[in-house]
Structures are given as structure tokens and as C-alpha cells.
Amino acid sequence: MTRRAGILGLVLVAIVAASAAPAAWDRLTRPLDRAVDPSLTVADRDGRALRVFLSADGAWRLPADPARVEPLYLAMLTAIEDKRFRYHPGVDPLAVGRAVGQMLANGGVVSGASTLTMQTVRLLDPQPRTLGAKAVEALRALVLEARLDKDAVLARYLTLAPFGGNLQGIRAASLAYFGREPVALTPAEAALLVAIPQAPERLRPDRHPEAARRARDRILDRTAEAGVIPAAVAAEARRDPVPDTRRAMPMRTPHLARRLAQAADSGTVEIRTTLDGDLQRRIEGMALRWAETLDPEAGLAVVVADAATGAVLAHLGAPDFFSTRRSGQVDMTRAVRSPGSTLKPFLYGLAFDDGFLDPRSMVTDAPLRIAGYAPANFAPVHLGQLTVADALRLSLNVPAVAVLDRYGPDRFLRRLASADARLELPHAGDRAGLAVILGGVGTSLEDLVSLYTALAGDGRVRPLTVRAGGPTGEASRPLLSPGAAWEIARILEGTPHPTHSARRRGGPVAWKTGTSYGFRDAWAVGVGNGLAVGVWVGRPDGTPRPGHFGARSAAPLLFELFEILPTTRSLAAAPPSGGGSPPSAHPLPPALAYFPPRPDTPTADPVRIAYPRDGSEIERPSDRPIALQARGGRRPLVWLVDGRPLPAPPHRRDAAWQPDGLGFATVTVIDADGLTAQARFRVR
């Protein structure tokens, strides 16, 4: 070959190599950019997993940060797998030289030269274990370290390392085998987690505990020889048992976690919440214990929030997410239910601000009829004249209805809605009636807890927030003046306590109960120690529970919760100095000494039941329902049979009821003004 031909050949080779270089480089580096499909983690405010969702390929794969991993584990890992990890560029020349020398001297492979970076490359793009693949792996390791710093490389290893089955990464392994994050590991635990990835399926402690124990002990011995741990610590750690079961992944606050996951953007890796993980765990355990005291179909829900910011610290939608009898997958913190008497404090506070009522004003608790509506107290007694403060503490219905009649039902609901409270009337287009103050409107536990934050200081309602870094107190809406909020809180602090819930750790609690029509919902909401807490107890399907009411079923749990809650700050012990003063700070004007109810102005045609007549007997039709008929009143009408709502067109005055047996039944009809009529009859 002439010199000219040789030069030409070299040029051609160079051209071909240059043209092939981009494709080769792309093939070399593409696996390093592969998106690692993580498990979505809903975490508490400290970053600890509350609930973990499987990745798209069915793995438990949680992103890991070396700064949040036990330092002893990292020291053991590098001592065993790559002792010069912090110093080499991705490939360890000394380890390569040692491995080659041992292979030549012994005629076969004695030890490997894989660095943690090379292992990470292999986890990103698994290839057959050949010398050629090993060379490519080494090149890719150099490229990876040129792109990422050491901690970023280590983070990928800690996220992808296999630990048996569908467990990938140090966090998933620590949660599965020890039930906690790898922030603090014992020497025995750290050694086990170093050992498992060496043979993930053969060393799974839940399937091969003895093999896992031997592998762990070898790691303990080798790290003791390397000076990572003292020999005495290694000997002590060898006596620790090896876990022989695999725990379930965290499943805290399942309803809230599911809601956040469904609303998350695609590719979201972690959702950091405002929840206190330790508090959530304690409340979930308490709820399971309380559920055992309820009937098998009943459930409960709890919301705990910081009253100053609205940040949710604990959230429980049901005591057992997997219970079908308790409808556990229904989130009862968001279910719209009748709140009973829990809105009364805000009506009285608004009346204070309106200037026609004072805590010291005298009101009359006696039989009352307003426009045909005759409210009754929860207990079938009347107490005569008493102060507004006492009427609220005792949650008397008659004085509250009289105050609402003066303030205006529509105005009251508009005022609450202006503070972002979600309130729903039974039918779209309904006008508010006087019954709204006794539970004739729907709301949720979350909305109630948000409303009660107004009683913690300045009268402003804090919207609840569950995302860390989300809007807090600055998004508040005014509802009451600071003075009125202070007065209401002082009144509610004096509410008589349940006999077995008299303890009040950390200061007084301003609290209120509520019971919906037919004993379907029992509520207790309280503010104290800088927190707003709400409890709901009932059956998710709305079945009545006679004998179960707020003070009996929900209040004891409320006060047990306050016993375990953190103390942040107490309610103001003195009246607010600015932004309005409490009404009782001034002498009581004669016009406020007594609050008279509005005299009755009966409607021209009050609602009544035309069929069946009260006290009658009717024969059960064999093949058709019984026709219920009403006269008078203002539509829409609501029908109930034995306290259970009956589906009926709201624009009609009749309804159809199919009895499920013979015997006595009670039919109730309620019109748009809250007026009622009732008939008790016998089906034969």
C-alpha cells in the first residue's frame, strides 16, 4: 500500500468514526437519562412517609436522599462495596488492578472491581455480565460522575438498589423490614441492608432468615475489621434477631392521601403535607379502640388543625379504611351532614356584633311559635328566663330560634358563606328557614373545624390547608369581631363537661356539641391550646342511632384527643385590646337587658298531613305503595317516615311510601319555612 493510499485510508476511517460518534455517544449515555419511575409518597411535615403508592411497574421505589439515611449504614456500604467511592472518578483503578492481578495469578475471577457508580449504571440499564458489557459499564460510570456529584450518584443507588421482591431502595427496604424510615438504624439493621442487595432473592429475610442472618454477620465482622464499628458493637449486633416478616407499606391517613394523589400532577414524586406523623399514628390507634365501643356499622372521623394557620395536623376519615361494614372508604370528614346545634355559637356572635344581643341579656326559654313553627328543646323541658350565655352553654333550641328569627336565616347563611363555609340546603333553590340553626342545613366536618378557628382569637376563619407550603393564615376571612369571638370562646369554655371527660390538659377548651335529626350524626368541636378539633360519630349510610348524641358519643372522644394533642398556645385570657372590644366589657344598656321573641304571626295555610290521618288505621295495599298527601305550607316539602328521608319530587305535595311490614309508623312533613306536621298511624 502506497503512503498516499494509507493516508487516504486513515482519513476515511476518521470520517466514519466521526460520523458514528454521535450515535455511539447517544447509545452510551441514553440509559443514564432514563426516567426512574418512583412510588408516589404522601409524607408528613418532616418528610416521613404517611402513605406510599406502587409505581407504574408495580415496585415500591421511594426516592432517597443520603442526608436522610443513617450515617453508619453509608459508612458500612462504602466500606464493603466501594471504600474509595469519594475519591475515584467512577472507576477505581486500584480495584481494577487488584482484580486483574488476582485473575492472572489464579486463572479466574477472584474479586470484582465494581464501584457503587458502576452498580448504579447497571441498575439504570441492566446488561448481561460479559467483559464487553463491563467495559461499557465502566465508560458509563465515568460519564455519570462527570454529570453528577457523589451525593447525587449515591442517591440514585439508594433509590434503585434491589432488596428482594418488588422492594427497591433503602427507604422501601427499611419500611418493609423495620417499619420506619432509614434515618436511624441500629448496627444490625444497617448491616442487614448492606448485605441483601448482594443477592436480593437469596438473602430476603422474610423468606430466608437464616441466610440473611449469616450474610448480616459477615458484614458486621468485615466492617469491624475495617474499623467502621468496634468489635464489641459487632458482637452485640450479632445477637439481634433478623426480621422474618415483611411489613405493609405505610397506610396512614388513607382518605386524605388518596385525595392528594388523585389531584397531583403527573410525575409528582412526593407530596409533603402539614400533618404531624406521630400525632396521626396515635389518633388512628385511638380511633380503632373507640370504634370497638360503637355498633358494627358506625364510624367516626377526626380533624385537628392549627387554629392560627388552618394547617391540618391530623386527618381521619374513618377508623378502618378496609371495613366494609363501617363503609370505611367513605371519607366522613368531607361528607355533607346535618350539623345539629354546632352553628349556634356563630349566630350568637353575629348577634353580639349586630348590637341587639349581649351575653348578659335575658332570654326566655318557653314554648314558642313563630309563623307556625314551634321549636322544641333537645330535653323536653323549658327553663324560663336565663342569660344568653347560659342559653348557649345549655344549647337551648327555643332561644336560638328566636335570635335567628331576629337576625334572619338567609342573612345568617350568607354571612357564613362569605367566610367560605360550605353550607347546603336540602334542595337546590330552597330558602333558608328557622330550622337551619337546629341542623336544617348540611355541612362537613372539615368546614366546621375551619369555622371554629374563628373562635381562637381574632374572629377570622382560616381555610384548612394540608399541603406544606400552601396558603395559611393570610387567606383568612372575617366572620366575627375579635370581641365577639372572645366572648363566645369564654362562654363555651364554661360548657358542662361529660362526666368521664373532665380532664383538660394544657388549658381550657371552648367546645360545642351537635346532634342531627333522628340521631344520625353526633358532633363535638372544640378550640383550645391553639388548636381546632372536630369529631363526628355516626353511620355513614345515615341510619338513625337513637340514644347517641353529641355529648354522649362525640364529646368524650374530643376531650381524650385534647389530652394527647401538643400545646401550641392558649386562647387569650384577656379581652382583645384592639379591633373591637367584647360586648360585656361595657355596662349593659337597658335596651339589651331583655331580648323579646317576635310574636307569632301564623301563616294563612300552615302545612298539614291530609293522608293518612293521625291515629288512623289503613290497610296495606298488596301491590302498590301508600300515597302520602300534604296540604298547605310552602314548597319544597321534605317527607320522613320514622325519621328516615323519603324520596319525593320537591315540587309536589304528595309522596309514595312502600311499607316493609305491618305495625305503627310516623310520617313527618317539613316545608320550606321549617314548619312541620306529623301523623302516627297503623298499617294492618
Domain CATH for 27: 1.10.3810.10
> CA-based diameter of the chain, in Å?
125
Q: Are residues 582 and 615 in the same domain?
A: no
Contact (CB, 8 A) for 473 and 493: no
Position 178 pLDDT exceeds 80: yes
Q: Are residues 385 and 472 in the same domain?
A: yes
Residue among 378, 412, 308, 356 nearest 595 (CA) = 356
β-bridge pairing 617-618 and 676-683: parallel
Containing 128, the helix (H) or strand (E) segment is none
Position 12 pLDDT exceeds 60: no
Instruction: Report the CATH number at residue 662.
Output: 2.60.40.10
| Structure-derived torsion over alpha carbons of residues 362, 366, 371, 374, reported in degrees to the nearest 10 | 130
Q: Are residues 535 and 633 in the same domain?
A: no
Q: Are residues 64 and 92 in the same domain?
A: yes
Mean pLDDT of 274-289: 96
pTM, two decimals, is 0.78
Q: Which of these ranges, 205-209, 297-301, 582-586, has the smallest mean pLDDT? A: 582-586
Position 210 pLDDT exceeds 60: yes
Among 98-102, 601-605, 636-640, name the most confident range. 636-640
Q: Evaluate whether residue 309 is within a structural domain.
A: no
Contact (CB, 8 A) for 219 and 187: no
Q: Are residues 216 and 355 in the same domain?
A: no
Of the residues 592, 623, 655, the one at which a domain ends:
592
Containing 189, the helix (H) or strand (E) segment is helix 187-195
Q: Are residues 617 and 484 in the same domain?
A: no
pLDDT value at residue 481? 96
Angstrom CA distances, 418 to 333, 578, 591, stand at 21, 23, 30
pLDDT value at residue 357? 95
Contact (CB, 8 A) for 190 and 72: yes
- At 6, the pLDDT band (50, 70, 90 cuts) reads very low
Among candidate residues 70, 81, 145, 487, the one labeled active-site is: 81
Q: Evaluate whether residue 263 is within a structural domain.
A: no
pLDDT value at residue 635? 76
- Counted residue by residue, the chain has a size of 684
Mean pLDDT of 51-55: 94
pLDDT value at residue 401? 95
Q: Are residues 332 and 481 in the same domain?
A: yes
Q: Are residues 521 and 553 in the same domain?
A: yes
β-bridge pairing 41-43 and 270-272: parallel
Tell me the C-alpha distance between 604 and 584, whole Å.
Answer: 41
Position 46 pLDDT exceeds 80: yes
Tell me the C-alpha distance between 454 and 479, whole Å.
Answer: 7
Of the residues 206, 223, 238, the one at which a domain ends:
238
Of the residues 592, 625, 651, the one at which a domain ends:
592
Q: Are residues 582 and 624 in the same domain?
A: no
Q: Evaluate whether residue 291 is within a structural domain.
A: no
Containing 680, the helix (H) or strand (E) segment is strand 676-683
Instruction: Please indicate whether residue 395 is annotated as part of the active site.
Output: no
Residue among 360, 444, 368 nearest 401 (CA) = 368
Q: Evaluate whether residue 40 is within a structural domain.
A: no
The secondary structure of the chain in percent helix, strand, coil, rounded to multiples of 5, reads: 40, 15, 45
Residue with cell 346545634: 341
C-alpha Rg value of the chain to the nearest Å = 35
Q: Which amino acid, residue 422? A: R
Q: Evaluate whether residue 572 is within a structural domain.
A: yes
Residue among 638, 646, 637, 648 nearest 665 (CA) = 646
Q: How many other β-carbons are positioned within 10 Å of the β-carbon of residue 597?
A: 18
β-bridge pairing 299-306 and 312-316: antiparallel
Range of the domain at 115: 13-35+54-238
Instruction: Please indicate whether residue 341 is annotated as part of the active site.
Output: yes
Contact (CB, 8 A) for 161 and 116: no
Q: Evaluate whether residue 301 is within a structural domain.
A: no
Cα 671 to the chain's mean position, in Å?
Answer: 37
Residue among 509, 503, 512 nearest 528 (CA) = 509
Q: Which of these ranges, 338-342, 424-428, 571-575, has the smallest mean pLDDT? A: 571-575
Q: Are residues 553 and 615 in the same domain?
A: no
Q: Evaluate whether residue 299 is within a structural domain.
A: no
Q: Are residues 634 and 540 in the same domain?
A: no
Tell me the C-alpha distance between 190 and 94, whole Å.
Answer: 27
Q: What is the 3-state secondary structure (H, E, C) of 268-303?
A: CCEEEECCCHHHHHHHHHHHHHHHCCCCCCCEEEEE
Q: Are residues 581 and 660 in the same domain?
A: no
Q: Evaluate whether residue 627 is within a structural domain.
A: yes
pLDDT value at residue 72? 97
Quote the crossing angle between the two packed helices 170-178 and 150-160, to the nearest 10°: 40
Tell me the C-alpha distance between 377 and 595, whole Å.
Answer: 18
The number of folded domains in the chain is 3
Among candidate residues 39, 174, 338, 341, the one labeled active-site is: 341
Contact (CB, 8 A) for 369 and 468: no
Instruction: Report the CATH number at residue 565.
Output: 3.40.710.10
**Grid coordinates belonging to 211:** 441466610
Mean pLDDT of 534-553: 92
